[in-house]
Every structure is written in C-alpha cells, then in structure tokens.
Amino acid sequence: MSKITRIFFTFALSLIFITIAAVYIGLNLSLPKLSGDLYSAHISNDITLERDILGTAIISGDSRKDIAYGLGFAHGQDRFFQMDLLRRNAAGELSEIFGSKALNVDKQHRFHQFRKRAESIVAKMPIAQKMLLQAYANGVNAALAEQSLNSFEYLLTNSTPRSWVPADSLLVIFSMYLDLQGRTPTRDMVLIHIEQLYGKNMLAFITQNSPYQAALDASLLPTDKLEIPALLMKNLAASKVTSIEEPLDIGSNNWAVRGALTASGKGMLSDDMHLSFAVPIIWYRAQLNYKSQIGDEVKQVQVTGVSLPGTPAVVVGTNGLVAWGFTNAYIDTADWVLLDDKQMLSTDIELIELPDSTLEYPIEISEFGPVKQINGKAYGLSWVAHQDYAVNMELMGLETASNVQQGLALATSIGIPVQNMLLVDSEGNAGWKPAGAVPSRTNPSNTAQQAYQFQDIMWQENEPNLPQVFNPDSSRLWSANSRVMSADESTRFGDGGYALGARAQQIRDRLFESERFNEQDFLTLQLDNEARFLLPWHKFLITLLSTQPTRFAKDIQYLRDWQQCACADSVGYTLVRSFRHQFIDASFAPIETGLNKLNLSLSVVKRYLEPAIWQLIVEQPADWLPVEFSTWDDFAISIYQDSVDTLLAKHSESEELADLQWGEVNRLEIKHPFSRQLPFLSRFLDMPSQIGFGDTFMPAVQKRSFGASQRFIVQPGSEESGIMMIPGGQSGHPLSDYYRSGFEDYANNVTTPLLPTDTVYKITIKVGD
C-alpha cells in the first residue's frame, strides 16, 4: 500500500469515525431530560411527571387543566415528531417536510380542508375546552423549548419543528377520521360506478348480505341468493387479472361480560384496536391523577390507559369505577351527491408549501361539500368529518364517569369518528352504544343521490338518538367492526363498510363456551387464531386437488396437516389463504379491469365478495368462465398453481413448499417511516422482526405491519390484575431507554401490567417563570 493510499485510508476512517461520533453526540444531545425541577407560568399548582420502567407517564396535579399541561409536556418530550406527522397528515402539509414525494397524499387530504375546519371549531369551542387545549399546547411547547438539539428526524429532513397550537390537537383527531372512515367515500364511489358500468343487478350481487352476522340482538339480514348477472364476452376478453389489494381490517375487537360471569362480581372488558404499525406505535401509556368537582364533592380521580399523542385525553382506559374501549363502528357517515348544471360551484385555492416553493391547489366546492370529477360527472361529498360537531374534547368526560349509565349518556356528545363503545363498571354492569359524530340525516345511501333528494340540513345536526344495550340477559357484549345494532336500526344508520362478521361470530361463540372468565381467559381469546372462516375453502381446495392426486400429493399432505389455524408452522394455512385471495381476484377480474380504467378498485369492497364468490363456485356460470378454460375445475386449478408460484417466487429461494410456513409469510415487521426509505437505518430504528401467528377473519388479527395496536383487559376496581400490552415503546428517540420498552412482552405474548410500576425518573414542574 502506497503512502498516499495509507494517508487517504486513514483520513477516510477518521472522517467516518468523526461522523459517527457527531451523530451519536447529536442524538444524545437531543434526548429529553427525564429528571429535575422545571418552572412554568402556565400552571396553577405544581405538578409531577414520573416514569416507570416502561416509561409510563404518571402525571399528578390538582386540576385537569394542569394535568393537560403535564401530558402535553410528556408527549412533547417523547413523541413530538409523531404528533407533527399526524397533524400534517390531516392538514395536507407533509410536502413542507418531505417535498414532492408527499404531494399526492397532501392533495388527497387537502381536499377536506381540515386545517380551516379545525381552526373554526376551536374558535367556537366552550371556553373550558379551549383553555384545556391551550394548556396542553403550552406543555408541548415547553418540552420543545427544553431540547438542546432538535430530534434526529428534523436533522435528517433539514426541517424545523413548528410550535403546537390548539387546532393541531383537532387535526390529530381528523387524522384518525382519515384512518377509520377515509375509505367510506371511496367505497361509495366504487359502488356508484359498479352500478353505472355493470348495472343494478351486479351491484346487488356484489353487495349481497353475508351469512356471517353477529348482531347483539341476534337479528339477521336476509341472505337469499340473488341471480348471478350475466357477463358480456367483451368484458371477459378485455379483462386482466390483477391483485385486488386486501383492505386492512382497521377497526378492532372488544367484548365485555357482566359481573355475573366474573369471580369478583365486577364487569370485565377486553379491547384491542387494529391499526397499521409503525415506530413509534401510535399509543402512549399514561396515568393521570387529579382532583375533580363531581357534584358537591371534590374527588380524587385516577385514570390509567393509553393516550393519543397530540391530544390531552385517555382514549381507552379505566378510572377504577368504569372502564371503556372502542371498535370502529362502520355505520354510514358519508354520501355523494350527483351534481347537475343548476348547482353553483365555487373554487377555493389551497396553498401547499414545499421546501423551496408554493403550489396553488384549486378545490371546487358545492353546497353539499367538496367536489370530485369522475368519468365526466361531478359529485359533491357530504361527510360527517366536515361538520362542526365532528371533533371536540367530550371524550374526557369518561374519566369522571361513576358507572356505565353515565358513560352511555355521554356517547352522543363525543366528537370522534363513531365507535362501538363498550363500558363496564365495578358494580358488574356492562353496556354498548355508538359513540361519536353521527349525522341526523335519515336516508343513508351507498350510491349517489340526486341533489333534490338530499336532506342537507340534517347533515348539520348530530344525531341525539342512538341505539344502546345495557346489561343484556346473556351478560355478554361484543363487537368486531361488523353490524352490532339490530337489522331495523341498520337500515336507519346504513352500512359504511362493515367487516364481514366472521371475526365477530368467532368472538361471540367463544364467549358462550364458558360461564366464568378472568383476565387470562380474555387474553387467550384475543390470541385465538383458529381458522374457522377458511374451513369451507380448505375443503374446497382439498377436493379440487384430489382430482389430480399424483400431481398435488405434497400439497394435499400439507393441507391435511394445516392445523386449522393461522399457526406459525402451518404451510397448509398459507396455501388455502393464498388460493382464496387469488380465486377472488381472477373471478372478478372483468369488474376490476373496468374500475381500474377510472382509477378505482374492488379493494374497498373485497370483503363483501364472499357470498358472491361462493355462488360462482357452486353454480359455475359459463359466461363468467374465462375463455381459455373449458371447465371451472381447470380454472380453479390454474389459479391454485399461480398462487403457489407467486408464493414461492416471493418467499422461497429453493422453491420448496416447506418454505411457505405462515409465520414466515406473515412475519411481523414494525418499521420506522425513515427506514422504509433508508434501509440501512433498519437495524437502528425498527422493532425486531417476529414470526407471525394471526391473520384476518379471526380474533388474533395480524398482518405484516398491522394488527392489535394494544391489548387491554381490566375489571374496574381490580386494576392490579389488568393487562396493557403494546407492540412498541413510549419514546420515539432511538437512544432512549423506552424506545422498545414493552415490545418483547407483546411479541412473546407475555402479559404486561396495566398499572405503572416503581418510579425510575421524576420531573417536578413548579409554578414560576
């Protein structure tokens, strides 16, 4: 090696070392200080912020307003960048940080003008709620001011954190609207165009009621088979088989039993909310301790659960007397109105900021809402998220509820995406009610309405009369994103994209297998991955492959050994699941091809296709059979072989079926947003990859980066036995002790206590300048 080469090599190594050292020092400087005394002029009395071994934020003070400041401070220390992304996501302001790569998302979300709506709602809020949001914002901004150096996300994006304001907390709730209801307008638009392209009979065939129903009152919607609509030969000839993306079952499971079914006589609640996974995970452990005027008494309140960084409320939790949890309700909260030439349209210009420029983005506005132009027609969107009652801070009323009845009474005033709220109390009561914003209009529709039919005035009022169930005779309640209310009530409130119902049926049936439950029983049910839904598909596939037993001998053996579960080592489960997915894709390819030309897809209604696909399997209509096949068996075997080839190409270097174990195919991968763009950061930022064990259509919901974002089980008044498992840590800082805290327990199905443990760090925030 020459002297010059040695000098250059030494210089390069030194530069790398200096860079690594600078990054490490910078990351350390951006770590928040978790102990000591601070001063604030924005609180009435001293407050404390303690953290236990998991990083649970334990906040104690005299008033709820001061507690909001403390929670804002904790969120600002641990999660500010996540909060920033949530507000920017809803407002359509991601391009300011990420540039043109985020422009399409920003345009989609700016269409709803949530920044303007949030600012308008804050201006009209009751003074107490406005002051509480301001206190929370003050806490967040105090945490930002305490940082020695901006967090690494801002350094990597060459951007600067922007102060938090009260409207930002409402934008975080609007971001949840986009997650939980954002597909409803898209779903309706797809149904509108199925009807336009293929007729009313096709629309009815695709959306026919499923036999998988589990309403609380056991009512059933009719499931009479419909006539299969004819498919024209030109549709078959022009069709192209593409993967119809499986929609994420965003929603959740929850169930509850009355005290009659527990040893303590207290009600017991289980809640696991299903959302996309990222690092950090969306929820933040918190316990709030404060005094509240309840009636003529001043009582000490202790609320333990998970909060949503960006907002001052405990979303799911318990106060020792009442516990509450949610699943997405999926009632109809959006309608499209077909506009004619008589409708007056205006144009709003939204300014989208990019790092080096400003883009003018025009949005057409009708009297019914913002306008989309599709296939030469204009449609105005009325969505509950556009109404003034869509977001507020009334959810916090649950923190001081004394019993289930009080919690149920709050449901119609809560401003969140409408949820199935389940409540239990320490006296053994249990109840269900939709909680959240529900329009008062009485004519929900899955297809476009004419302007003259539209009851616009009723959209401007929140529905005061919602169904509820209190202390059912069975002592059991459940919901899992399918229809919960009665068949008659369902007609009134509409279908906004209900889940299929197989998951809810399995939960209901499990609950009736026992007359006594404890926390471990509920956790076992949360982890139930039995594949009851796929049993008919398993039988169908074995029968099909048995027509060629020599060719498919290995496949048949794996299918016989499938264990009837989404188990980690099951190859047979992978084969059945993939076959179903591709059989639906191939059978409905003519419809999907037509929709794709309009940038639409069956994806948002794919779960509805189960009854229709079984009619095709049983009746085998000749006009639905692709022209290159002479029989439906030939068609089905070809689909199976294609599905296996696709699996092997993606998951096996040796092209062996043995490599298709479900745990590997469905491996859990929880990634930081930056590692997706910069894979070399993965080892530093991501959670450890884990063998998968669950799927859709069963209680144990899990996909590669989706699933139970928390597992919560509690009997109010017996919180010491409660469970709160979360697939990620409290802090978003990769050098924090709390970056991965709790993940290992979640990944290994080890229970994590609900209540905080001994204090590790303590900050005292004192009154002062």
Q: What is the pLDDT of residues 591-633, one digit of tens each?
A: 999 999 999 999 999 999 999 999 999 999 999 999 899 999 9
Q: Determine, yes or no, domain membership for 725.
A: no
Binding site listing: 332, 335
Residue 555 lies inside a defined structural domain of this protein: yes
Where do runs of H (alpha helix) occur along 30-113? 64-91, 95-98, 103-110
**pLDDT class of 10 with cuts at 50, 70, 90:** very low
Answer for the pair 542, 552: CB distance below 8 angstroms, yes or no: no
Taking 90 as the threshold, does the pLDDT of residue 287 lie above it?
Answer: yes
Diameter of the chain by CA atoms? Answer: 88
Query: Which three-class secondary structure state does DSSP give residue 22?
Result: helix
Confidence of residue 233 (pLDDT cuts 50, 70, 90): low
For residue 587, is it within any domain? Answer: yes
Q: What is the mean pLDDT of residues 344-355?
A: 95
Confidence of residue 677 (pLDDT cuts 50, 70, 90): confident
Query: CA–CA distance from 456 to each of 335, 364, 690 (Å)?
Result: 10, 18, 49
Per the domain annotation, does 640 fall within a domain?
yes
Tell me the CA distances in angstroms from 17 to 14, 43, 77, 149, 572, one per residue in order. Answer: 5, 45, 29, 21, 50
Global pTM value: 0.94
| pLDDT at 240 (0 to 100) | 81
Q: Is residue 158 part of a domain?
A: no
Q: What is the DSSP letter of 264?
A: T
Q: Return binding residues for Ca(2+).
A: 332, 335
pLDDT band with cut points at 50, 70 and 90 for residue 234: low
User: How many domains does the chain contain in total?
Assistant: 2
C-alpha pair distances (Å), 98 with each of 92, 357, 428, 700? 12, 13, 51, 35
Angle CA 273–275–279, to nearest 5: 115
Is 303 part of a structural domain of the chain? no
Please give the mean pLDDT across all residues of the chain. Answer: 93
- Distance separating alpha carbons of residues 576 and 540, to the nearest angstrom: 9
Whether 17 has a pLDDT exceeding 50, the answer reads: no
The 10s digit of each residue's pLDDT in 50-98 is 999 999 999 999 999 999 999 999 999 999 999 999 999 999 999 999 9
The answer to whether 644 and 657 have CB atoms below 8 angstroms apart is yes
Query: 456 falls in which pLDDT band (50, 70, 90)?
Result: low
Query: Is 605 domain-assigned?
Result: yes
Name the strands in the sheet holding 449-450, side by side, starting at the edge strand that comes first in the sequence: 346-354, 357-366, 369-374, 377-383, 334-338, 449-450
pLDDT value at position 625? 94
The pair of three-digit structure tokens given for residue 700, joined into one six-digit string: 């144990």
Residue 316's beta-bridge partner residues?
306
Among residues 30, 63, 169, 252, the one annotated as catalytic is: 252
Question: Is there a catalytic annotation at residue 721?
Answer: no
pLDDT at 148 over 60: yes
Of 16-20, 508-512, 651-655, give the lowest mean pLDDT range: 16-20
pLDDT at 5 over 90: no
What is the predicted pLDDT for the residue at 507?
A: 98
Reported as a pLDDT band with limits 50, 70 and 90, residue 219 is: very high
Quote the CA–CA distance of 44 and 63 in Å, as a whole number: 8
pLDDT exceeds cutoff 90 at 18: no
Last residue of a domain, one of 646, 665, 684: 665
pLDDT for 8: 38
Q: How far is it, in rounded angstroms, from Cα 548 to Cα 419?
A: 49
The predicted structure's pLDDT at residue 239: 74
**SS3 of 444, please?**
coil
Q: What is the pLDDT of residue 21?
A: 42
> Cβ neighbours of residue 299 under 8 Å, at least 6 residues apart?
291, 292, 400
> Is the CB of residue 504 less than 8 Å from the CB of residue 482?
yes
The confidence score (pLDDT) of residue 459 equals 87
Supply the DSSP string of 586-650, one letter for each residue.
Answer: HHTHHHHHHHHTTT--GGGGGGGGHHHHHHHHHH--GGGS-TT-SSHHHHHHHHHHHHHHHHHHH
Res 12: pLDDT: 39
Domain end marker among 610, 632, 665: 665
556 belongs to a structural domain: yes
Higher pLDDT residue, 203 or 7?
203
Span 168-203, pLDDT tens digits: 999 999 999 999 999 999 999 999 999 999 999 999
User: Is the pLDDT reported for residue 254 higher than 50?
Assistant: yes
Characterise 133 by phi-psi region: left (phi > 0), alpha (psi -120 to 50), beta (else): alpha
Query: Residue 342 pLDDT > 90, yes or no?
Result: no
pLDDT at 732 over 80: yes
Containing structural domain, residue 6: 1-30
